[in-house]
Structure 1
Amino acid sequence: MNIKLNVPNKLSEIALSDYVKYLKILEVNEGDENSDVFVQQKVLEIFCGVPYNESLEFKMSDVSNVVAIINNTLSKQPELVRTFKLGDTEFGFIPKLDEMTFGEYIDVDSNLGDWENMHRVMSVLYRPIKQKTGDRYLIEDYRGDSYHDAMRHTPMDAVIGSMVFFWNLGKELSVAMINSLEAEKGADLTQSQILARDTAGITQFKHLLSSMSLK
């Protein structure tokens, strides 16, 4: 049987909603030693659009090769994606994090760690661009759930890139705070203590990245 498959080999070709479906499959089948074949078939269905029944007719070697390509794609850690398009709308990463409103921060912090709600986080971090000149742009004001459904289709390079960005930012902030506190108060605080106390929201990105390790 000769069938052409569109196998994603870039994170930009994988939508957040599909990745969430994939995580659900892994979660449901965790600890089941006999689930490997089923999971591989579901990977074909989710990322390549192959109906489950049709995948049963594929050669096992072909399935394994396709799954290996997808696993390799999902293991990549891209740089921060500044802009991307969904349909005709271009979205841009929030240019000034220090100007994030309290409401925006609450929506990010309350949904971190929950892949089911990651689209809500993305709707805060990425907004429609209303004006652009070269690499510089202005984004729309945050409007709550206006783009929640659209952001379910956020490309995974943007999702992971923003998570890595915040993880690195959290580490830099923790080091800066340690140096500042030790200099001013002679405090003997460990990095983990500082992180736990002052950057709890940001460091949840580290746990999210850890949870993305593929089995």
Structure 2
Amino acid sequence: MNSAIESLTLDVPDTAAAQAFYDEAFGLGDRLRFTTTDAHSAGFRGFTLSIVVAQPANVHAFVDAAVTAGATVIKPVAKSLWGVGSTLQAPDGTIWKVATTAKKDTAPPSRTVEEIILLLGAADVTASKAFYVDRGIPVAKSFGRSYVQFETGPASIGLGLYRHASLAKDAGVAASGSGSHRLVVNGALGTAVDPDGFAWAPAEVRAGA
């Protein structure tokens, strides 16, 4: 399938400051876009973004760069059963995880992104899953009513669903929150809003496409 998610738009207080932070911290280029709004938002915004890397040294490299650029550490880099990771909060409030399934380094440190994954907190994972499947995004993995990973296509930003409270716990923050998600997903769904209030917009048409 074609890429389901081309880019993400984050609502930030200052677009120039956000661009500078993300360029220095993660270097994600045009996969992240920025806009401003005065919409109310408080507490957990209901989603997290993950940068998947090849080895623990790369986790440290990204985390160090993000902290230098102004990020706040929520969970320090640590080993777990599944690998090595850390959770950060960007100056604009977005929660990011940097992680690898590898437990040992096999190369010099690198700030190479293997994958970006958007995890949406769902009040009812089954209902939200049906919303996306009905609109042509197939399921890659599904674990009952708790977690869904979608097949979003090559070069796409990954997409998953997790129970809202479980996603907040994994991020290391309180599950309560209100107001805008401060996120728009740009991709194959066009203009749409999912059952949890996450907004989609058409992908940008590029010259020559």
TM-score of the two chains, using structure 2 as the length reference:
0.23
| Structure possessing the higher radius of gyration over alpha carbons | 1
Higher relative contact order (CA 8 A, sep 6+): 2
